[in-house]
Structure 1
């Protein structure tokens, strides 16, 4: 698949007659006392993305953003058969899940050194490089298990035009080595398409790239 095909999904016009407001919130599972996600999930509270829009204009920008990104994650599922795909943006000292396709999962991940050995999402955004686990049963490094069915995971950073990290996307599957034949497509073309789309999207430019740069809140020691 070409980069053009992915961008076409993102830039296809949004029908103004359709109601997409349901995409601005989602249910996350009840969390354990330490904030981790239990293997056996029960529906918990509703996480509302409207808290990240501080004006009517930014609300419309947010709605457009999640509508288009949601379209993308569903398209990726159809094209690759991946079981779970989510896109996160950083806000201060946390990663926030904006869109996803698959089973419910927690909405936020902390961005702090003490979580480097606990969360692949935290490690990817702080180390600014992708992380691939072909088989989680043979993995010795940091891994956040939220679903016992997951057998492989690929997580990639998202960069702004200046080369600063502003978020991540994470994908998981129930089959070992699932991404072996797909890693080039996801790590290069999908990643590039997301970065191109976010580069000039008004939701991002309204707040400025630095707002999403965790280094401003977590400077290197």
Structure 2
């Protein structure tokens, strides 16, 4: 996708295909041409960031909340004794994995600088060490949150992350309270969150390979421009995900 940044036609096609596949096309609040132009601008900035002669250290460990009884929900504000270690699920701290995590950290930093939201995470669809399909968090900023989301139909009933990871259809909730009042299921990690955008990641064949999740403590933050930034990030990330078996 970085190669497509310099080709307007390819970018236009890539953006439209992503919007159609993720279900976001019908949710646009601005003309498609305007949205594409916004996305292309962010793609160019992100491509310049990633091709610059700078390196980012891979982050292999991060704090996670203690899980409640049965492991379904996190205990907000209660951290587990041991941090989560990505080494096992990624198959070791190889040079390729080091590079991948470093690039994902660069993307996360770029998004944080541009979006100014409270929380953001990049998740990859992988099997965990128990052989179970999960979304594993590879890079993020914000408050500690769980490392793995089960990719099961049952868990998808209470988790936007898992639902998007299974369906490939984006979920944008600009008012969490209103969403809950309308009967929507919601996995609450931080009760201060008032808006969330959860978008799928696709490889070149169209297979779902992960998700991104963005959250903020303010309603209605996911405007057309904010979504263009998220889509740009989603078009770039799959190129840098660690290899799977």
Give the TM-score band, short-chain normalised: 0.7 to 0.9
CA deviation vs aligned residue, 1:71-92 (integer Å, no higher than 9, x gap): 2112211111011010000113
Where does the alignment leave 5 or more consecutive residues of structure 1 unmatched?
212-221
Q: Relative to structure 2, which stretch is displaced further, 123-132 or 62-71?
A: 62-71
- Show the counterpart of 2:158: 118
> How far apart, in 1, do the equivalents of 2:206 and 2:64 lie?
31
- Show the counterpart of 1:30: 66
Q: CA deviation at 1:43?
A: 4.6
Q: CA deviation at 1:163?
A: 0.3
Where does the alignment leave 5 or more consecutive residues of structure 2 unmatched?
1-40, 128-132
Cα RMSD, aligned residues only: 1.9
Is residue 2:98 matched to residue 1:63?
Answer: yes
Q: From 110, 116, 125, give the equivalent of 1:81.
A: 116
Q: Is the contact made by 1:29 and 1:106 (CA closer than 8 Å) also made in structure 2?
A: yes
Q: From 127, 147, 158, give the equivalent of 2:167.
A: 127
Provide the aligned length of Structure 1 versus Structure 2: 196
Q: 1:44 to 1:178 in 2, by over 3 A?
A: farther
Q: CA deviation at 1:116?
A: 1.9
Q: TM-score, normalised by structure 2?
A: 0.74
Q: TM-score, normalised by structure 1?
A: 0.81
Q: CA deviation at 1:192?
A: 1.1
Q: Is the contact made by 2:201 and 2:211 (CA closer than 8 Å) also made in structure 1?
A: yes
- Show the counterpart of 2:6: none
Q: CA deviation at 1:183?
A: 4.0
Q: Is the contact made by 1:50 and 1:59 (CA closer than 8 Å) also made in structure 2?
A: no
Provide runs of 4+ in structure 1 moved above 4 Å: none
Is residue 2:185 matched to residue 1:149?
Answer: no
Q: CA deviation at 1:14?
A: 4.0
